[in-house]
Amino acid sequence: MASKDRILRLKDDTRNNILAASIDIVKEEGWQALSMRKIADKIEYTAPIIYEYFANKDAILNELTRQGYVKLGNLMQQAISEHSDPAQQLEAMWLAYWNFAFAEKELYQVMYGVEVNCCAMQNMCPDIQKPMNMLWDKIEEIIPADKRTEEYVDTKYYTCWSVVHGLISINMTRKLTSDEMNKQVLKDAIGGIIASMK
């Protein structure tokens, strides 16, 4: 019965191949160029077999989105482990978020809908919520107990997120700002918000 396992492993392989082929195509030609037939070509099959692994094209994008959040979560975990002071940890987490957005540009695009049309963030699965929760918890930790209401944490969380995501979006759609200025804006804004929490 070990052959069953081998076959299952092979099926898993082609599933991964589909996902890998997809990001390859996106990296080469952008999200708009991603088509079922192109994916099939790349994995040396015909288009219909993809539907044995994914319900439809959106399901592929959803899985890539999920994987993106997993990666982001891991990077944040690592950022935390490299500092002991909560404020420094939070800053490192946002920096990790920032770096992830450009290191995995294509994933960030599908995760946060910058220049992508698809998949309107339907299923809020745990993987997707994790990075958000990590940031939220860390902010909660920094805020002194007497100010620590859910609303206050929410406000600070969304303020930080807005700055970072906004700056990333702007950088991705048009590229005018210099790298030094990005770092400056990021440090200024995030630093200011973090300082205002205490």
Using rule CB under 8 A, residue 137 touches a copy of itself: no
Q: Which stretch binds a copy of itself (CB under 8 A): 13-21, 69-77, 82-90, 179-187?
A: 179-187
DSSP conformation class of 164: H
Binding DNA (rule: CB under 7 A), the pick from 20, 47, 103, 121 is 47
DSSP-derived 3-state class of residue 187: helix
Looking at beta carbons, which pairs linking 75-83 to residues 24 or more positions away fall under 8 Å? 75/99, 75/100, 76/131, 76/134, 76/135, 77/134, 80/134, 80/138
Using rule CB under 7 A, residue 11 touches DNA: yes
Give min distance, CB of 172 to a copy of itself, in A. 8
The nearer residue to a copy of itself, 92 or 153, going by C-beta atoms, is 153
Give min distance, CB of 23 to DNA, in A. 14
Residue entry with tokens 């440090």: 187
Give the number of residues in contact with a copy of itself, rule: CB under 8 A. Answer: 36
DSSP conformation class of 93: H
User: Residues in the site for DNA, rule: CB under 7 A?
Assistant: 3, 7, 11, 14, 34-38, 44-49, 51-52, 56-58
User: Residues in the site for a copy of itself, rule: CB under 8 A?
Assistant: 31-32, 112-117, 120-121, 151, 154-155, 158-159, 161-167, 169-170, 173-174, 177, 181-182, 184-185, 188-189, 192-193, 196
